[in-house]
A and B are shown apart, each in its own frame.
Chain A
Amino acid sequence: MGVMSALLLQLGQVGLVLLVAPAVSGMIRKMKARLQRRIGPPVLQPYRDLRRLIGKDVVLADNTSWFFRMAPYLIFAATWVAAALVPTFQTGLMFSWSGDMIAIVALLGVARFLQAAAAIDTGTSFGGIGASREVMIASLAEPAMIMVTFTVALVAGSSQLSTIAEFMLHSVGLRVSLGMALVALVIVALAENARIPVDNPATHLELTMVHEAMVLEYSGRHLAMIELAGSLRLLLYISLIACIFFPVGLVVSGAGFLAYAAALGAYGMKLVIASVFLATFEMSIAKMRVFRVPSLLGIALMLGLLGTLLLFISEGM
């Protein structure tokens, strides 16, 4: 296995996440529509939306600064890098030493900061509302995510995703802490991706919207970047949960062609299954009041803390 092929595989993963991300968003939208007995837009609709948006002119508000124009690209870049670091079909890729959970949390934090700051930059009241709500949610979701990281790192002995996945694949017993970490991570993922109990990605109702309020002023290619970053973030969380808790089908480097095909197939299956779960969950639950959200995220934080504490017991023997 030469340097070239290793580099190619790594670039393959970087390209793969970018290619697949809009399809996952489209798939979830389609499934939700079918569950509501609507036809729904085709699965490939997000790609068409992106093409249309890129071709359109950008309309800028009068009082925006250079930061507002820069932010979409930076948000997209940070999210893309984070999504590309999560092992999707193979562990031990060339750059897997940098695929650390804490680094991913930090990259997502950077993207979130940029988005909130850009929303405030417009000076509209919606941007301000969206930014303040986003930061309120993030201030609870991020510690919960860090606690999950600690729990998983304590079990696997590393916070590097590649190592974690290999550990989970081979030598893990029955651990209640991991169950708690899974639930906490799912709650964080729902909150961070503005999915239903926290935020509704499909509406523009000013009383409840969080994420949409922040991106209201964007148009054209800027909006395309932000939409793509949103899809990438959703894909990132699905891959993260799949890689940590369900690492079945991941291949190690140097496997044959068939093994790679099987691994890609397994990854695709995981994405479909996660989409089914997400769509069904979103259909069967109502959106929360904004001021109830902290208590939901409080549960995630508490589960993370409790998981870590329980691990100390079983490890401390």
Chain B
Amino acid sequence: MSAFSLDVAHMFAGGLVLVSFMMLYQDRLFPLINALSLHSFLLALSVAWQAHIQNTPDLYVTALISIGFKTLAVPMALRRMVEKMGLHREIEAAVRTGLTMLVGIGLVGLSMDLMLRVTAGASVLVREDIALALSVVLLGLLIMVTRRNAISQVIGFMSLENGLILAGTGARGMPLVVEISVAFSVLIAFIVIGIFLFRIRERFDTVDVRALDSFRGERR
């Protein structure tokens, strides 16, 4: 494997971590959803590149799923949900942004230190992928922990799942990765709807979206 192809793989995976930080920093809903789109797009690029250099065509399917499902469909659906429900566009963060960023940097450092030690002996690509994937996963968890808004929690979860796929991609000879990816995507769609229904029911004692309209009507 040439140094150039490794550098490109490193660039895409590093870009994923960077976009995770962008999500951590973002405090408005629509840019956050756009960031998720970008995150999934970068993941698709990263997976496609690794399919190319590892010569494993089945990974292209994973990349396609990532583009079609998570870059386009889910963000669009999320956006429609936000618009339909007339949600407040600003996300209230449970912890201050600056502190969150510092914790995020700490997590990245931790995962790199841990993974580079644990995976000593594996191939370069695997080590790099897994170290960066763990940071993406931890950052996704951090997004979920520090946000109070249901949608941003879903977005945190999706970015976490992108990290998992990145980790799966690095491990060669893993045809299951396609199926796992599909299964996860379905699971996520389920969780997206689930959290929404749960939140709405919790607040308005009903799962009907019209409850929001009448709620706004009262305040007007």
* Chain A interface (Cβ < 8 Å from any Cβ of B): 173-177, 179-180, 294-295, 298-299, 302-303, 305-306, 309-310, 312-314, 316-317
The stretch from B1-9, B64-72, B212-220 touching chain A is: B1-9
Interface centre among A295, A313, A314 (most CB of B within 10 A): A313
Chain A residue with the shortest CB-CB distance to B101: A302
CB <8 Å contact, A173 and B3 = yes
A316 touches B116 (CB 8 A): yes
Q: Are B7 and A180 in contact (CB under 8 A)?
A: no
B177 interface residue per 8 A CB criterion: no
Contact A310 to B14, CB < 8 A, known contacts A174-B7, A317-B128: yes
Bound Cα distance from A305 to B193, whole angstroms:
37
Chain A contacts for B112, CB-based, 8 A: 309, 312-313, 316
Contact B14 A302 (CB under 8 A): no
Closest B residue, CB atoms, query A310: B14
Closest B residue to A317 by beta carbon equals: B124
Whole-angstrom distance between the Cβ of B63 and the nearest chain A Cβ: 19
| B115 nearest CB neighbor, chain A only | A313
Other contacts beyond A312-B112, A317-B128: 14, CB < 8 A: A173-B4, A174-B4, A174-B8, A174-B11, A175-B7, A175-B10, A176-B11, A298-B98, A302-B21, A306-B108, A309-B112, A313-B116, A313-B128, A313-B132
Residues of chain A lying within 8 A (CB to CB) of residue B98: 294-295, 298
Q: CA separation between A176 and B13, bound complex, in Å? A: 9
Are B101 and A314 within 8 A (Cβ)? no
CA gap between A177 and B112 in the complex, in Å = 15
| A306 x B17 contact (CB < 8 A) | yes
Query: Secondary structure at chain A's binding surface: helix, strand, loop or mixed?
Result: helix
6 shortest interchain CB distances as A-B pairs: A176-B14, A176-B11, A174-B7, A173-B7, A310-B14, A317-B124
Task: Check if B39 is an interface residue, CB within 8 A of chain A.
Answer: no
Which chain B residues numbered 73 to 116 have a C-beta less than 8 Å away from chain A?
97-98, 101, 105, 108-109, 112, 116
Residues of B within 8 A of A313 (CB): 10, 112, 116, 128, 131-132
**Known: A299-B25, A309-B108. Contact between A317 and B127, CB under 8 A?**
yes
**In the assembly, what is the distance between CA of A310 and CA of B116, in Å?**
12
Q: How far is the CA of A310 from the CA of B211 in the complex (A)?
A: 48
State how many angstroms separate the Cβ of A293 from the closest Cβ of chain B: 12
A314 & B17 in contact (Cβ 8 Å cutoff): no
Is B105 touching A314 in the complex (CB atoms < 8 A)?
no
The chain B residue with its CB closest to the CB of A177 is B14
From residue A172, how far is it (CB to closest CB) to chain B in Å? 10
Bound CA–CA A299/B3 (angstroms): 30
Q: Which B residues lie within 8 Å of A302 (CB)?
A: 21, 101, 105
- Roughly how many angstroms separate A31 CA and B129 CA in the complex, as a whole number? 46
- Closest Cβ neighbor of A175 among chain B residues: B7
Partner of A314, one of B4, B18, B128: B128
Residues of B near A174 (CB, < 8 A) are: 4, 7-8, 11
Contact of B10 among A176, A298, A303, A306 (CB under 8 A): A176
Q: Shortest Cβ distance from A13 into chain B, in angstroms?
A: 34
Chain B residues within 8 Å of A306, by CB: 17-18, 21, 105, 108
- The interface residues of chain B lying within 8 Å CB-to-CB of A179 are 11
Provide the residues of chain B in CB contact with A298, threshold 8 Å. Answer: 98, 101
B15 touches which one: A173, A176, A303, A309 (CB < 8 A)?
A176
- A298–B124 Cα distance when bound, in Å, is 32
Give Cα distance in the complex from A179 to B10, angstroms.
Answer: 13
A172 and chain B: residue at smallest CB distance:
B7
Which of chain A's residues have a CB closer than 8 A to the CB of B124? Answer: 317
Q: How far is the CA of A295 from the CA of B10 in the complex (A)?
A: 27
Cα–Cα, bound, A303→B18 (Å): 8
Which residues of B lie under 8 Å from residue A316 when comparing CB positions?
112, 116
Closest to B105 in A: A305
A177 to B10, CA, bound (A): 10
CB distance from A225 to the nearest CB of B (A): 37
